[in-house]
Copies of this chain bind each other. A is one copy, B any other.
Amino acid sequence: MDQYFPQVLVIGAGQLARMMIEASTRLGIKVRVLANEKSESAAQISSDNFFGDYNKIEDLISACQNIEVVTFDHEHVPLDLLAQLEKIKVNVRPGIKALACSQNKIHMRETLEKAGISNPDWLATNSISKAQDFFQAHQKQIILKAATGGYDGKGVWEITELNQLNQFFTDPDSQWLLEEKVSFIRELAVQVVRSPSNQVVVYQPVETRQKNGICNEVIAPAPELAEALNIEIQQLGLKVAKELEIVGVFTIEMFQSQDGRILVNELAMRPHNSGHWSIDGAVTSQFENHLRAILDLPLGSPAPISKFTVMANILGGEFLDLYHPYLHCLARDPHLRVHLYGKSVKPGRKVGHVNVSGDDWSALLARARHAADYFTGNITE
């Protein structure tokens, strides 16, 4: 059977790669992981690890032997190396055009603006005086972002005092992205999947709740989202997919503003924490649809299978033992779906998540949060 089934290389061995492997098994798709070491989340469970450095072209080329498609656990691979892979006829999905947007936030804003998509008001500059003007023009409420290198809340600062800007504008060669601080009712996210054949499916938009700049809880679908806004978000997803020619799953993080606008906050060119609910709550998970998309297979239904599914992240706390909490959490809630990533516990580190499905989202949120808090060690009963 082997010869008929394609093999995918996933660059990076975090939990996203781990969950891609889970999804690959049922489809018979073979996955190789380019990992640093065996202890990494995906490398632990992978039957085919290539140990190497994604910053080295020779490692990338070696890892690509017999590989049909290359995809990613993260967005940090240098684009010039990916261009070299494409030259030797390796399929890189998502492609360089899409990844360029997620690697550089200024480039993302420019691209979205050109496509006529609503951004918060923004400015890219290396000039502190222009930054100061922008700060004043936005009622002293702005967000400053590093153009590159940020993730999970890192590389993002809220600016509320003029002199805060001084520490950033020290190098005249480095551009910073400034954005209005949007007065939002809530944050939303949506997963969109596009295949090379241009089939696109859009999941239901979800409500995300952040903790220290990290997506921490998700309610799927977003409760009481007006039908017009839902349609607007679906159309936004289709537009971004088309303009950026994205292949695979991508995620749009958005603000729902007080004045009724949907504004793009961030793009992630991969399966995303805000889509983990889909593993237990949708007909086809974001991970399975990602594999189907990059292999140009027909996509699966993104329809929810419950009225609501709520996801809560398990963050590392004081306790290193994540196994012992099973006794309490699983007994307390037989409907709880626990996903642990095999990662060692460090305070604040994402080490797993829980999903729970049902009809009443606020009751589900309480149950998911209880379990997550118990695993973290914030509560003991």
Contact = CB atoms under 8 A, between A and B. Distances in A.
A244 B336 CA distance: 29
Contact of A46 (B6, B47, B334, B352): B47
A25 B45 contact: yes
B47 A340 contact: no
A376 to B, nearest CB: 14
Contacts of A303: 335
Contacts of A279: 26
B342 A28 contact: yes
Contacts of A305: 305-306, 357
A274 interface: no
A176 to B, nearest CB: 38
- The oligomer's copy count stands at 2
Given A1-B344, A338-B27, A300 B330 contact: yes
A339 interface: yes
Contact of A1 (B4, B26, B30, B320): B320
Nearest to A356: B283
Interface in A302-356: 303, 305-306, 320-324, 326-327, 330-331, 334-345, 351-352
Contacts of A22: 22, 25-26
A339 B47 contact: no
A4 B338 contact: no
A42 B228 CA distance: 48
A46 B49 CA distance: 12
A297 B345 contact: no
B322 A4 contact: yes
Contacts of A164: none
Contacts of A320: 1, 4
B331 A4 contact: no
Contacts of A341: 28
Contacts of A321: 4
A111 interface: no
A284 B334 contact: yes
A299 B333 CA distance: 10
Contacts of A26: 22, 279, 337-340
Contacts of A4: 320-324
A357 B30 CA distance: 26
Contacts of A235: none
Contacts of A335: 283, 300-301, 303
Interface in A218-247: none
A44 interface: yes
A298 B334 contact: yes
A363 to B, nearest CB: 16
A292 interface: yes
A299 B334 contact: yes
A220 B251 CA distance: 35
A292 to B, nearest CB: 7
A4 B331 CA distance: 19
13 contacts: A1-B320, A1-B322, A1-B342, A4-B324, A6-B323, A21-B25, A22-B25, A27-B338, A45-B47, A284-B334, A299-B334, A305-B306, A305-B357
Interface of A: 1-2, 4-6, 18, 21-22, 25-28, 30, 44-47, 279, 283-284, 292, 297-301, 303, 305-306, 320-324, 326-327, 330-331, 334-345, 351-352, 357
**What 3 A-B pairs come out closest when comparing CB atoms?**
A28-B340, A298-B331, A298-B330
